[in-house]
Structure 1
Amino acid sequence: MSSMLSRRPLGGTGLAVAPLCAGGAPLGSMPQQFGYRTPAERGIATVRAVLDSGINFLDTANIYADGGSERRIGAALAEIGGPPDDFVLATKVDRDAEGNFSGDRVRRSAEESLERLGVDRVPLLHLHDPEHISFEEAMAPGGAVEALFELRAEGIADHIGLAGGPVGLMSRFLREAPFEVLLTHNRWSLLDRSADDLVDEAVERGVAVLNGAVFGGGMLARGPGESGKYAYREADEEILDRARRMHEACERHEVPLAAAALQFSVRDSRIASTIVGTSRPERVAETIRLAEHPVPEELWAELLPLAAPPECWQW
């Protein structure tokens, strides 16, 4: 079996997951974020490819493509009678279109997701992007965090995670609530090291860490010549310069930039699984190949010091 298909413990949850997790955002059609459309049949076929690949972990969210990602995952799962026994299906509760992220909304979000996915429970359920409300509002009695943990107590979710951006806020949530899993994105990559201390803190607390968006939305997959955006927005010149130098170093060593960007996360022993979004069936096997591509130590010695300076990080 490929080392990328072997199982790692997901913190203290008792779940075991592959080092690679299929990211569900591109499975729905989100051209405003990714710059392209994903036809429904291609999205469903991509889920089939994940199920056939040996990767046993798939992450999505209520909000992705207004539920389109979950519907396509549900369609593929229905073809085989539901998720395989060892398959870890994760989704996220989200605010609604009006920005409501109350405790009641958390419950409705979970109900919507279960219906779309065609399941009565999920192994992992995240609170998604709580930065869109205040910390006090999220933690208030009857608020989003309390509702999420109630869903675990009721058997709707086996385990509870936190998925978000700003590292200071994520750290505050970890200190105040017993989340079992942390999902950080765009903040632990070749270019941006914002989440380093946050990842350390999570591991010290026994919280499993998932790392997403290691390609920064495309720049570290296709190269700065193909994508001028990092984290879905136009990158400043310092980020572009660092990415160009990384690309050149990889070319000298005949290593795809995408392989180095992916393995930066996969080789980190603190990261339980690295989430990579795909929207084409053939990209599933390609991602596994990138994760296994030989990367010489000499290249790491060149790449790691090329991270952008802290003032350019997402934080």
Structure 2
Amino acid sequence: MNDPDQRLPTRPLGATGLDITVLTIGGAPLGSMPGNFGREVPPETGTATALAAIRGPVRALDTSAAYSAGESERRIGAAIRRAGGLPDGYVLSTKIARDLASGVFDAVQARRSIAESLHRLGLDRVPLLYLHDPEKNDFDQLMAAGGPVDILRELRERGVAQSIGVAGGDLATIERYVRTGYFDVVLTHNRWTLVNRSARPLIDLAASMGLGVVNAAVFGGGILASGTGGSHRYAYREAPAGLLTAIGEMEAACRAHGVPLAAAAIQFSTRDPRIASTIIGASRPERVDQAVALASTPVPDPLWAELDAIATRVDPATLPA
């Protein structure tokens, strides 16, 4: 496929003024994060994957300063240069992050983070800039006058970022940031998947406030793509037996209907009208077209009912908070 004329449908990203394709390519794997994804990704493969994302039907790419200590951004920057720049209307997002060595996340670090990100990407502005994993630091510290959140708002005012968002895992923490009213977009990961429905209240809240909602890690780190035969990990950690049982039942239900588990995992998110875009990680160029194909694979309504019933039997205590 890899044809920009065969573009995916777009949705408004909240009130940002941005239209975003229903799929976004996730840049964490292409930077090489073997601890999370189980395999090394050579630099040329990562750059080629980013180039496929830029030139293909998906018109959004997400990365972070924290992914492989900036290596994801470096590879994406190389791809942007090969492509002759980002296409018009392309939604590239990155994230400012704490210092990974010290854990410090103050105003100095926030400014350093975005400056280094823009240098690696070869850009002077980005459509979307997130506060990354704020649960790792103190809420009051990040929200203090002149702190990282104020820096983000300043960057939006200056046009360095068209829109700003908050991205993280811990639902209670992310909800606190959403309720400030300072952000345009919220990104949640691993908490709105076939087997984990815990982000429902957060997504409802964000949608009611007019924020754009982006949902990531719908494969739970891989197991909802490969199935239990390929992985025993969910959200980058060993999955409890009960969760593995539920995923196995979902595999069987999908198999009975002739639907790939990965297609159901993607479309669980893309069929949700509250979610503007669903992030699918990619570590090889062909994964981009594969994700597009899975997103359009027919899934019969009875299968959704079966998958929902299995999800209700998942013990919330087995899921990441």
Secondary structure of the residue that 2:167 maps to in structure 1? Answer: strand
Q: Given that residues 6 and 57 in structure 2 are in contact (C-alpha distance below 8 angstroms), is that contact kept between their aligned partners in structure 1?
A: no
The answer to whether the Cα contact below 8 Å between 1:4 and 1:288 also exists between their aligned partners in 2 is no
Q: Is the 8 A contact 2:192 2:218 kept in 1?
A: yes
Which amino acid in 1 is paired with 2:318?
C
Unaligned segments of structure 2, at least 5 residues:
none
Match of 2:258 in 1: 254
Matched, 1:151 2:144: no
Q: Within the alignment, does 1:268 sit opposite 2:272 as a pair?
A: yes
Q: Which residue does the alignment assign to 2:56?
A: 53
Q: Whole-Å Cα distance in 1 between the matches of residues 72 and 121 of structure 2?
A: 9
Equivalent residue letter for 1:111: A
TM-score of the superposition, structure 1-length normalised? Answer: 0.98
Correspondences of 1:86-101 after superposition (within 5 Å): 86-96=89-99, 97-101=101-105
**Aligned match of 2:320:** 314
1:29-53 CA distances to partner (integer Å, 9 max, x unpaired)? 1111111000111111111211221
Candidates 117, 120, 143, aligned match of 2:121: 117
Q: What residue number does 1:77 align with?
A: 80
Divergent runs of 4+, >6 A: 1-4
The 3-state SS of whatever aligns with 2:306 is helix
Among candidates 279, 286, 289, match of residue 285 of structure 1: 289
Shift of residue 177 of structure 1? 3.8
- Cα distance in 2, alignment partners of residues 215 and 55 from structure 1: 18
2:309: which partner in 1? 305
| TM superposition shift of 1:218 | 0.7
> Structure 2: how far apart are the matches of 1:295 and 1:191?
17
Partners of 1:286 and 1:15 lie apart in 2 by 25
Letter of the structure 2 residue corresponding to residue 38 of structure 1: V
Q: Kindly report which structure 2 residues correspond to 1:1-315, keeping only aligned pairs within 5 A, or say none.
A: 5-96=8-99, 97-307=101-311, 308-315=314-321
Conserved in 2, the CA contact under 8 Å of 1:194 and 1:314? no
The alpha-carbon distance between structure 1 residues 108 and 52, as it changes in their structure 2 partners (threshold 3 A), is same
Q: Describe the SS at the equivalent of 2:73.
A: helix
CA distance in 2, matches of 1:194, 1:265: 13
- TM-aligned CA distance change 1:2 to 1:235, over 3 Å: farther
TM-score by length of 2: 0.96
User: Secondary structure of the equivalent of 2:102?
Assistant: coil
User: What is the percentage of aligned positions where both structures have the same residue?
Assistant: 53
How far 1:294 moved relative to its partner?
Answer: 0.7
Matches of 2:14 and 2:200 in 1, distance apart?
18
Alpha-carbon offset, residue 85 of structure 1: 1.3
Number of corresponding residues: 315
Q: Residues 158 and 76 of structure 1: is their aligned pair in 2 closer, same or farther, counting only changes over 3 Å?
A: same
Q: Please state how far the C-alpha of 1:168 moved relative to its aligned partner.
A: 1.1
Alignment-mate amino acid for residue 274 of structure 2: R
Native 8 Å contact 1:214 1:276 kept in 2: yes
Q: Deviations over 1:255-306 (max 9, x none)?
A: 1000001100000000000000001011111100100111111111111111
**2: CA distance, partners of 1:5 / 1:76:** 21
Shift of 1:185: 0.2
